[in-house]
Amino acid sequence: MPGPDMARRAVGNCCAVWALLIAAALGGCGDGAPVAGQPAGARGDGSPVSAVMSSPATDGYARATRPGSLEFPRDHGPHPDFRSEWWYFTGNLAAPDGRPFGFQLTLFRFALSPDAPVRASPLATRQAWMGHFAVTDVAAGRFHAFERFARGAAGLAGARALPLAVWLEDWRVDAAPGVGAEPFPLHLAAADGAVALELELSPGHPRVLQGDAGLSRKSAEPGNASYYYSYTRLPARGRVTTPDGRFQVTGSAWMDREWSTSALAADQTGWDWFALQLDDGRDVMFYRLRDERGGMHPFSAGVVADAGGARQRLAAGDVRLEALEHWTSPRGGRYPVAWRLETGTLDLTLRARIPDQEHRGSIRYWEGAVAVTGRDADRPVAGVGYLEMTAY
């Protein structure tokens, strides 16, 4: 049986092959520009989230169909019978002098086949893993983004429920031993070259089950849905390292967990995801599924949650979105980097901390930190958040 170092070399030698396999599994289409480290012809321009969720390959996989079926701590861990899932962490941090940073650490699992491999090799697996790690250094005006792939074998990548652990080589999410239904405190660690992140996330606002008791329907077709829950506000402290130095930081993080086999319908072309933490204690999540004309699909949805756990579900008709400013990527694509979001008495303006927060790995999308200002009726409100935009 090969040791970890041998297994890592084997995966490294096959990295381009894995990128191609995952790109093929995601079914993305691109803008024609080659991606560094990716074979010619393997192209992508949506996020791994939207690409996998629109895949028609569902035979043999489990489907998300039943609300109210989530169970903890079991569902913090992996769901290998579903085609895809992710552990998604984003947040806004600041050094003691106020220097702001954003961060993203996402670990994706993709099933390449609904059946277990029959080969005897210790590297045999039906699970592929992809990681995305990014730090936005607002003061320096720099967005540092990294991507990794690994097999779900030989200890290279994987997940377990109790205590929660998710890893792709040395990019890790770990809960303390002995925790129960709530996996806190959580330790996040990732590094690539001169950029590194090490954070401890503490319990914050209560868990939010998105959609109908955790079942988030994305279209009218049965099974076009995901299981989806969030921890919308987690106090964070730790260290961020960039080429400019090492910084002690504090702030607030957001954790999203989602797994599915098929979710997006044929007439849904991408999405915009807003995750906002307001200074009055409320958290707002809304995803706009875009139809073929670029408008809001009727299965767009979200939630407003307060610090006590009360939540108000948002339907497509409850939210008005207006793009205010755009940034054009040098790779092509024009992203809205300032938005107006209105719902109920809230009238919010979101602006990217820096315009260029575009991931340019094997799959291209925009995900970054935003600042929030606005009003709730006659009261001013402010906050921070994260924005994801796919397929622009």
Mean pLDDT of 86-96: 98
Give the pLDDT score at 117: 65
**pLDDT tier, 149 (very low <50, low <70, confident <90, very high otherwise):** very high
Percent of residues, the chain, with pLDDT higher than 90:
75
Cβ-contact 391, 269 below 8 angstroms: yes
With 50 as the cut, is the pLDDT of residue 7 above it?
Answer: no
pLDDT in tens, 199-217: 999 999 999 999 999 999 9
Mean pLDDT of 309-328: 97
Q: Which residues of 238-251 are buried (b: 16+ CB within 10 A; e: fewer)?
A: bebbbeeeebebeb
CA distance 217 to 79: 18
Instruction: Count CB-CB contacts under 10 A for residue 9.
Output: 11
Mean pLDDT of 308-316: 94
Mean pLDDT of 275-279: 98
First to last CA, the chain: 45
| Residues contacting residue 183 through CB under 8 Å, at least 6 positions apart | 73, 76, 163, 164, 175
**pLDDT tier, 248 (very low <50, low <70, confident <90, very high otherwise):** very high
Phi and psi dihedrals of 16, rounded to 5? Answer: -65, -35
Cβ-contact 349, 372 below 8 angstroms: yes
Of 122, 46, 125, the residue nearest 78 (C-alpha) = 125
Chain centre distance of CA 260: 14
With 70 as the cut, is the pLDDT of residue 44 above it?
Answer: no
**pLDDT tier, 278 (very low <50, low <70, confident <90, very high otherwise):** very high
With 90 as the cut, is the pLDDT of residue 145 above it?
Answer: yes
Q: Report residue 173 as tokens.
A: 């999410």
| Residues contacting residue 303 through CB under 8 Å, at least 6 positions apart | 208, 210, 284, 285, 286, 311, 312, 313, 314
For the ranges 90-104, 105-119, 256-270, the one whose mean pLDDT is highest: 90-104
pLDDT in tens, 332-362: 999 999 999 999 999 999 999 999 999 999 9
Give the pLDDT score at 124: 84
**pLDDT tier, 114 (very low <50, low <70, confident <90, very high otherwise):** confident
With 90 as the cut, is the pLDDT of residue 115 above it?
Answer: no
| Residues contacting residue 97 through CB under 8 Å, at least 6 positions apart | none
With 60 as the cut, is the pLDDT of residue 366 above it?
Answer: yes
With 80 as the cut, is the pLDDT of residue 11 above it?
Answer: no
Q: Which residues of 74-85 are buried (b: 16+ CB within 10 A; e: fewer)?
A: ebbbbbbebbbb
Cβ-contact 175, 183 below 8 angstroms: yes
Average pLDDT over the chain reads 87
Cβ-contact 350, 337 below 8 angstroms: no
CA distance 98 to 289: 35
CA distance 102 to 367: 10
CA angle 283/357/18 to nearest 5° reads 105
Give the pLDDT score at 235: 98
With 70 as the cut, is the pLDDT of residue 240 above it?
Answer: yes
Q: In degrees to the nearest 10, what's the CA dihedral of 17, 23, 27, 28?
A: -140
Antiparallel, parallel or unpaired: β 283-291 and 301-305: antiparallel
Mean pLDDT of 51-70: 79
Mean pLDDT of 233-245: 98
Mean pLDDT of 352-379: 97
With 80 as the cut, is the pLDDT of residue 264 above it?
Answer: no
Give the pLDDT score at 227: 97
Residue with the larger pLDDT of the pair 100 and 113: 100
Give the pLDDT score at 222: 85
Residue with the larger pLDDT of the pair 192 and 263: 192
Give the pLDDT score at 13: 33
Give the pLDDT score at 364: 94
Give the pLDDT score at 46: 54
Q: Which residues of 299-314 are buried (b: 16+ CB within 10 A; e: fewer)?
A: bbbbbbbbeeeebeeb
Give the pLDDT score at 53: 55
CA angle 134/106/3 to nearest 5° reads 100
Residue with the larger pLDDT of the pair 159 and 180: 159
With 60 as the cut, is the pLDDT of residue 25 above it?
Answer: no
CA distance 321 to 324: 10
Give the pLDDT score at 57: 59
